[in-house]
Amino acid sequence: MELHNILGLFSNQVLLCCITAWFVAQALKIPTYYLVEKKWDWHRFFGSGGMPSSHTAFVVSLTLMIGATQGFDSAIFALSFTMAAIVMYDATGVRRETGKQAVVINEIVQKMFVNGESITDEELKELVGHTHVEVIGGVIVGLLTAGLFLLFM
């Protein structure tokens, strides 16, 4: 692979927009977590789940950028739109249910003892999916980020 191809990644406006949307969404998880829980958790920047959905922000910004640059009637836009719909459905469906199950399993495991000791100190990750509001938050971040990129690119 030639160097100019690799350097092209850094000038790819579509990719830069997606990464920016992800970064903004992840950064917003810190203050939104504080508003709900009344405590700061800087680890939320690296976590999945929470408000807004960074996966949604990423794929929505990707879809809008592809539509604007390649055409809303293009096959690549249709592919991106479909992928975005699947990501959003998965976030509120399968991943959210996984988080709910993790809560129940963690509670059961906390109550289980062998010879007077807890069977494990390990906990399943509970915050993996999203509510519909969190996904809508991701849609807004993705649309705003792509809109700003398109305005200034």
| CA atoms of 80 and 97, how far apart (whole Å) | 25
* pLDDT per residue rounded down to tens, the chain (153 residues): 677 778 888 889 999 999 999 999 999 999 998 998 898 988 888 877 788 999 999 999 999 999 999 999 999 999 999 999 999 988 887 766 776 777 777 777 777 766 667 666 777 566 666 788 999 999 999 999 999 999 998
- Residues 77, 89 share a domain: yes
68 and 99 in a common domain: no
Write down the pLDDT at residue 126: 61
pLDDT of 125 = 64
- What is the maximum alpha-carbon separation in the chain? 65
What pLDDT was estimated at residue 122?
A: 76
pTM: 0.79
11, 55: one domain: yes
Alpha-carbon distance of 131 to 94, in angstroms, equals: 11
Query: Torsion angle of alpha carbons 36, 38, 41, 46, nearest 10°?
Result: 10
Same domain, 85 and 110: no
The torsion angles phi and psi of 101, rounded to 5 degrees, stand at -65, -35
Residue 128, pLDDT score: 60
pLDDT at 88 (0 to 100): 92
The closest of 28, 92, 94, 87 to 63, measured between CA atoms, is 87
Same domain assignment for residues 40 and 114? no
Residues 7 and 39 in one domain: yes
Query: What is the per-residue pLDDT for 46?
Result: 84
Q: Are residues 64 and 77 in the same domain?
A: yes
Type of residue found at 94: V
Same domain, 20 and 79: yes
Q: Which residue has 């494990």 as its token pair?
A: 120
pLDDT at site 127: 62
Shared domain check, 71 and 55: yes
- Whole domain around residue 109: which residue ranges? 95-128
Query: Do 104 and 140 reside in the same domain of the chain?
Result: no
What pLDDT shows up at residue 103? 73
**One domain, residues 41 and 110:** no
Whether residue 72 is found in the same domain as residue 117: no
Contact 97, 129 (CB under 8 A): yes
Q: How many domains is the chain built from?
A: 2
SS3 state at 118: strand
pLDDT of residue 48: 76
